């Protein structure tokens, strides 16, 4: 914890110089500061992480948080949100953590429209364990466990999330901070399951900076509520080593989220009690 009122804790930061996690942390901090000025209390935020380089972010924030297990950030976040629907729960996860170990949880949280925000630090490599391939590593990726290169295509996460029923799907890039910041804010304010796939620079094991700098562009968000448009935008890039790569909110729609707000649950509970009493009177 930090002695002053800063959102950043005193914990020693061990991310590598040039790591995109710094930019994600900065963007989240700036959004939380802005929301605090608009009346959201700091105590209303809860951060949850999985395991990986990304996960240290919860140590580096001076906020309520839960450092969970590998791949289990979503069930923990879901439990917190179900226990107290008034909280704003932000899940941080890595691409190995979320798209391999935790994939089943991700699909079902999207399907249920659990009202949480998921920020995937997608560096397309297992950084903490020094460079193994993940579900979003490109075909041919050479890592310590795959010196001859991988012979399987990457998973198109955007298509998968749209197919799972996610009500907010977006992609951002850790070097485009103002854009990333705007998307994080919209995701936090979205009522329902919001997912941001952040192309995060891993400066040490898979540095894609030049490729992303050249290939990413901000796509139009004029038709974000149209599912077919979202699918077409999501298909524009298949996580290969060929661009161009659209960024932005691809899909945003309203579907009744889970859980209901506390007041609504209370009203439902009182209605149920009244019905029971009427039946016995």
CB of 94 to ligand SF4, least distance (A): 8
Distance CA 22, CA 261 (A): 33
Distance CA 281, CA 110 (A): 43
- Contact string (CB under 6 A) for ligand SF4, positions 246-275, x = contact: ------------------------------
Site for ligand SF4 in 36-75 (CB under 6 A): 53
Residue 133 binding ligand SF4, by CB under 6 A = no
Distance CA 134, CA 71 (A): 13
Q: Which of 75, 127, 192, 246 binds ligand SF4 (CB under 6 A)?
A: 127
Q: Which of 8, 107, 203, 229 binds ligand SF4 (CB under 6 A)?
A: 203
Alpha-carbon separation of residue 279 from 151, 266, 268, 271, 273 (angstroms): 65, 20, 17, 12, 10
Under a CB-based contact definition with an 8 Å cutoff, are residues 118 and 193 in contact? Answer: yes
SS3 for 265? helix
Q: Which of 21, 174, 216, 219 binds ligand SF4 (CB under 6 A)?
A: 21
Q: Which H or E run includes 112?
A: helix 103-112
Residue 202 binding ligand SF4, by CB under 6 A = yes
Q: Which of 141, 205, 239, 250 binds ligand SF4 (CB under 6 A)?
A: 205
Residue 209 binding ligand SF4, by CB under 6 A = no
Contacting residues toward ligand SF4, per CB under 6 A? 15-16, 19, 21, 53, 123, 127, 202-205
């Amino acid at each position: 914890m930090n002695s002053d009122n800063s959102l950043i804790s005193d914990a020693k930061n061990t991310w590598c110089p040039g790591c995109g996690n710094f930019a994600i942390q900065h963007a989240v901090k700036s959004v939380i500061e802005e929301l605090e000025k608009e009346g959201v209390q700091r105590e209303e935020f809860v951060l949850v992480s999985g395991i990986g380089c990304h996960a240290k972010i919860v140590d580096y924030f001076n906020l309520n948080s839960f450092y969970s297990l590998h791949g289990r950030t979503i069930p923990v976040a879901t439990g917190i949100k179900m226990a107290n629907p008034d909280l704003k729960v932000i899940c941080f996860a890595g691409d190995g953590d979320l798209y391999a170990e935790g994939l089943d949880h991700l699909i079902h949280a999207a399907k249920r429209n659990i009202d949480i925000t998921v920020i995937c630090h997608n560096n397309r490599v297992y950084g903490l364990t020094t460079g193994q391939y993940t579900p979003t590593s490109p075909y041919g990726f050479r890592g310590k466990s795959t010196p001859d290169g991988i012979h399987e295509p990457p998973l198109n996460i955007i298509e998968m999330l749209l197919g799972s029923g996610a009500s907010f799907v977006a992609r951002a890039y850790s070097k485009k901070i103002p854009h990333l910041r705007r998307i994080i804010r919209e995701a936090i304010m979205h009522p329902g399951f919001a997912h941001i796939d952040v192309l995060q620079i891993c400066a040490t094991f898979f540095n894609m900076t030049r490729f992303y700098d050249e290939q990413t562009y901000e796509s139009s968000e004029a038709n974000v509520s149209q599912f077919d448009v979202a699918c077409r935008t999501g298909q524009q890039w298949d996580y290969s080593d060929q661009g161009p790569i659209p960024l932005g909110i691809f899909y945003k729609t309203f579907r009744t989220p889970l859980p209901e707000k506390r007041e609504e649950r209370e009203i439902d509970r009182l209605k149920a009690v009244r019905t029971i009493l009427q039946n016995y009177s």
